[in-house]
Structure 1
């Protein structure tokens, strides 16, 4: 189902799929600039945390048996009454090789300027197909029986497959993952949050005064000062960036962070949409640690050193909202030190930090 923020088109998918993989994605960036509306797209970062997945089934001579391994498995299961062991027995002597695809995910952003959320995030998969092993052991083993899940995942005889030297098939290829209008996405996040927050605020609670025993009924909103001023953590992330030295210095959030989006509907037909930011730096950055021996001034110096490594001001605050390079305890110590006059923070950064302490959030 196409979502409100989806900008994928068949034309865009074709442009991506037909562009060769080159060093630093030069060809793809050129294609974006000359063949799409995303003329100012730039590379942000890469994530390579995915395992290889089954792709095709071929013979030792390279003849294709099935272009879609999982579809072949389902057909085989249907022919053998859903018996995974029978499928293995029927195919053990055929010498079939399983090809797999190793994916990595590249993030690009097309900044449209203005508000910090006014950009398009482009997610592009780079995939390399290869042969690593025979699918079935030549002989059945006594080490357990293959399950249907084992078969579907391409490991019916896990630990006993004939291992081969990895052989790449062809060259890597690009495939369009998603093109997300982050301004529309964030507006939708905030709209759903506001509706849900308003409904939650209307809930009534029965309260008993322990000293008098009298009872009263009050709404959640009445119990929570400033309840109607709350906004989503996603909106706050952009707003904090805009107000702080990060945004005021001219840094654009879409060149520094990527956004792992989520959009799903629960069994009660309630839609949940959100994102988790991920840092976009491509160099190794050491965590701020061993700070318990440091006084506030020493900690502040360590955080400013962290900013220099990242290459922008107030980076430590945003890294403190997500990940393990900066801890939220560091944020608390810095705010306390600023309020005690031990260190000096720019006023805009102090406001952001104080607002975070008054109503903490993170990812």
Structure 2
């Protein structure tokens, strides 16, 4: 499938891989500034939630047996009739070592200014190879695992004797993706609207439970405001631009990163979406149960939350994400604002009111 929004190239991948890992990614940023079109690239955040992944197979002297664990294990299974036990019997005394990569995912942004989605997001893996066990146990006294464990590189396949973890070489970069978010958002919105129009034309049968009378209606006719529904990603960027966040000069791409998804279902329909990921580095606590607080106390907590994040109306966008601020808290603020109990800037009230009329979340 063509991914029209992707900008990574073999040249970019080679440049990134050849750049040494340095403190605060200084060399990588300098490389992008001098050798690519992304001269204003800046670091945004790092995700460290990824486990290790299988890398290579080496022998006890460090000589490489295979540069790719998964390719090697598939070849061995094919050569031994798909039997995990036969693969083990063949190699259990070889003393092969299994290496893994510990991974961090760094996000960078090249902000082109203007519309809030007008930026390029660059994601780069930082990988450190290490070894801490032999590939196979020498005996089967603890039982051997199955083919799925072999393919996954499960640590339970390793020897009972553990080695002290040993790092191999130095950390290195690997380019994950370069995404033009302006193109991504435009394509995602076009796909959403086309699918939404088609879904709206579908006809269903409505039955009156009292009389049994039936009538044929379209989804559009059954759903108030159907034609005003919009792709959630577009709403996120528009809400940012219209609210105190955007009006204060904050750029969404410097406060959030975006985990993108490109999905084709069994009917061949394509859907693009993203999940915003906050980029704050300070420890920020969740606004836990606030039911015992009156609306003034709740709004005070949300104001403190904004101060902690360092930007106005941050609580609204964190509420769309849902982990630190909850939708019920947003609803209480809207009700209080409409009752005249608290005063929001008019532009923030309009954004919150739009959400109240047709809520969305990630």
TM-score normalised by L of structure 2: 0.96
The residue number in structure 2 matching 1:34 is 34
Displacement after TM superposition at 1:78 (Å)? 2.0
**1:66-121 CA-partner distances (Å, limit 9, x unpaired):** 11111111221122111111111111111111111111100001000000000000
Q: Can you list the C-alpha shifts for 1:128-184, whole angstroms capped at 9, x where unaligned?
A: 00111111112122x333211111222375475421111111110001100000010
Q: Does residue 24 in structure 1 map to residue 38 in structure 2? A: no
Give the match for residue 303 of structure 1: 302
- The verdict on how the C-alpha distance between 1:294 and 1:64 changes in structure 2, with shifts beyond 3 A counting, is same
RMSD: 1.5
**Quick one: distance in 1 between partners of 2:263 and 2:213?**
43
Report which stretch shifted further, 38-47 or 266-275: 266-275
Q: Which residue of 1 aligns with 2:11?
A: 11
Q: Take 1:210 and 1:60, find their aligned partners in 2: how far apart are those partners?
A: 75
Q: Which runs of 5+ in 2 are unaligned?
A: none
Alpha-carbon distance between aligned partners in 2 of 1:45 and 1:286, rounded to the nearest angstrom: 18
- 2:133, 2:158 within 8 Å by CA — same for their partners in 1? no
Q: Which residue of 1 aligns with 2:58?
A: 58
> Separation in 1 of the partners of 2:296 and 2:43?
36
Shift of 1:212: 5.6
| Residue equivalent to 1:195 | 194
Residues 257-277 of structure 1 deviation map (CA, whole Å, 9 limit, x = unaligned): 010001021221111211111
Partner of 1:169: 168
Question: Mapping of 1:195-344 within 5 angstroms?
Answer: 195-209=194-208, 214-344=213-343
In 2, Cα distance between equivalents of 1:182 and 1:101: 29
Deviations 1:284-335 (A, max 9, x none): 1111124222110111011010001100000000000114111111100101
In structure 1, the residue corresponding to 2:129 is in which secondary structure? strand
Q: How many residues align?
A: 362
Q: CA deviation at 1:225?
A: 2.6
**Contact 2:133 2:159 survives alignment (8 Å):** no
Q: Is residue 136–residue 156 contact of structure 1 (8 Å, CA) maintained in 2?
A: no
Give the secondary structure class of the aligned counterpart of 2:163.
Answer: strand
CA distance in 2, matches of 1:270, 1:285: 39
- Can you give the 5+ residue segments of structure 1 that lack an aligned partner in the other structure? none
Q: Is 2:89 the partner of 1:84?
A: no
**Alpha-carbon distance between aligned partners in 2 of 1:354 and 1:139, rounded to the nearest angstrom:** 66
The answer for the alignment partner of 2:95 in structure 1 is 95
Moved more, 73-82 or 307-316: 73-82
Q: Is the 8 A contact 2:135 2:159 kept in 1?
A: no
After the TM superposition, list the runs of 4 or more consecutive aligned residues in structure 1 that deviate by more than 4 angstroms: 209-214
Partner of 1:361, secondary structure, is coil
**How far apart are the structure 2 equivalents of 1:213 and 1:85?**
64
